[in-house]
Amino acid sequence: MISIAMTTFDTSGHVTIMDTSKCNFGKKPARVSRSATLDGGAVITHSGVSHGDRIFTLDCRINEAQETVINYIHENATSVLIACSEGVFLGAISDLETYEGKLKATILIKSKEN
The average pLDDT across 42-70 equals 94
Can you give the pLDDT at residue 25? 81
Range of the domain at 76: 2-113
Q: What is the pLDDT of residues 5-35, one digit of tens each?
A: 999 988 889 999 988 878 888 788 899 999 9
Helix (H, G, I), strand (E, B) or coil at 36: strand
Q: Comparing C-alpha atoms, which of 27, 15, 21, 18 is closest to residue 73?
A: 15
CB 29 within 8 A of CB 52: no
Can you give the pLDDT at residue 10? 87
Q: What is the CATH number of the domain that holds 39?
A: 2.40.30
The average pLDDT across 50-75 equals 93
Q: What is the pLDDT of residues 31-52, one digit of tens each?
A: 999 999 999 999 999 999 999 9
- pTM over 0.95, yes/no: no
Domain count, the chain: 1
